[in-house]
Amino acid sequence: MAEIIEKTAESIRDMTIRGAGRIARAGASAMGDFAAGYNGTSLDDFRRDIKKNAAILTASRPTAVSLWNGVRATMRGLSFVSTLQEAKDLVVSNSEEFVEISSRAVATIAKIGANRIKSGDVIMTHCNSSAAIGVIKEAHRQGKDIKVYATESRPWRQGILTVNELAEAGIDTTLIIDSAVRTVMKGVDKVFVGADTITSHGALINKIGTSQLALAAHEARVQFYVCSETYKFSSATIFGDMVTIEERSIEEVVKKGEVPDSVKIFNPVFDSTPAAYIDAIITDVGMIHPGSVYDVMVRQLGDSLFEE
């Protein structure tokens, strides 16, 4: 059964499964499948294997706290069970519950976010966020006449996925290259982006280039909204931990032999947008100011926040 964990981790690592929400659900499901098919005989072994699996899965995309929180959610209460069967059942039900809650969160964000959009709005989005796209599609579904600019999002070009999805929904969509953001921003009313991680100070960690959208939006006085499920809030940042920004292979940027070997290539795939550039974070518990992230974390996690 360990193959399901390795296979899922590899699919997340090589981006076959991508998007902060999707990888969290994939990680949680893999933990559930592992538990359901576990054929060991000892509770201690199960606890040890589950911990090992969690470490393998979470290492596959280090920036996305969603994955960490999704995997960790499946282990909730594991230290309080007394039999192996109870432990297996608990991981399976935790996993199902996480998948259900996180999917529902995207739908809730869509409804809340769509209220910010009015007919005639020109919107910009970046990369391929199911939470941000959900908001845009919901506004369109409500009959609002909107136009969307979507960035290409080099090097993986997730913007191609975004424009396909928006066009398929019948939305007036324009694809732009990443460096066109500032030029286009003058004609934009609102920006909606997703999140990989939100820190306790309300900073956003999201696809590289997000902070450029935020800066350009700030300069042009365009509202900048982040669409984020609350499980993307990183409790570790309360205690001063920094978010690790993932760097990926240089082959994502240039083909082999395209530039001399002496040329160094730096490929960070996320960046940090300070809270000061964010007007609001649209979450499954409502729209909040970035300054309220800490309060929401404490309210949701209660005392468990301070246990580890």
Residues interacting with ligand RI2, by CB under 6 A?
A: 18-21, 127-131, 158, 194-196, 206-207, 269
Judge whether 131 and 106 are in contact, CB under 8 Å.
yes
Q: Name the residue nearer to ligand RI2 (CB basis): 35 or 132.
A: 132
Strands (E), the chain: 122-125, 147-151, 172-176, 190-193, 197-198, 204-207, 223-227, 270-273, 280-283, 286-288
* Contacts of residue 168, Cβ cutoff 8 Å, sequence gap at least 6: none
Q: How far is the CB of 20 from ligand RI2 (least distance, A)?
A: 4
- Identity (one letter) of the amino acid at 280? A
Q: How far apart are CA 192 and CA 140, in angstroms?
A: 14
Q: Name the residue nearer to ligand RI2 (CB basis): 206 or 230.
A: 206
Q: Name the residue nearer to ligand RI2 (CB basis): 33 or 271.
A: 271
The DSSP symbol for 41 reads -
Q: How far is the CB of 213 from ligand RI2 (least distance, A)?
A: 11
Judge whether 205 and 269 are in contact, CB under 8 Å.
no
Q: How far is the CB of 113 from ligand RI2 (least distance, A)?
A: 11
Catalytic position from the list 127, 178, 227, 279 = 127
Q: Name the residue nearer to ligand RI2 (CB basis): 61 or 88.
A: 61
Q: What Cα–Cα distance (Å) separates residue 191 from each residue in 126, 155, 186?
A: 9, 21, 12
Q: How far apart are CA 266 and CA 154, in angstroms?
A: 13
Q: How far is the CB of 267 from ligand RI2 (least distance, A)?
A: 12
Q: How far is the CB of 102 from ligand RI2 (least distance, A)?
A: 9
Judge whether 28 and 103 are in contact, CB under 8 Å.
no
Catalytic position from the list 49, 121, 178, 196 = 196
The DSSP symbol for 123 reads E
Q: Name the residue nearer to ligand RI2 (CB basis): 91 or 213.
A: 213
Spell out the long-range contacts of 159-168 with Cβ–Cβ below 8 A and sequence spacing 24 or more: 159/126, 159/127, 159/128, 161/128, 162/125, 162/127, 162/128, 162/133, 165/128, 165/133, 165/137, 166/133, 166/136, 166/137
**Is 227 considered catalytic here?**
no
CA-derived radius of gyration, the chain: 20
Q: Name the residue nearer to ligand RI2 (CB basis): 50 or 216.
A: 216
Q: How far is the CB of 157 from ligand RI2 (least distance, A)?
A: 10
Q: How far apart are CA 186 and CA 28, in angstroms?
A: 41
Q: Which residues are catalytic?
A: 127, 196
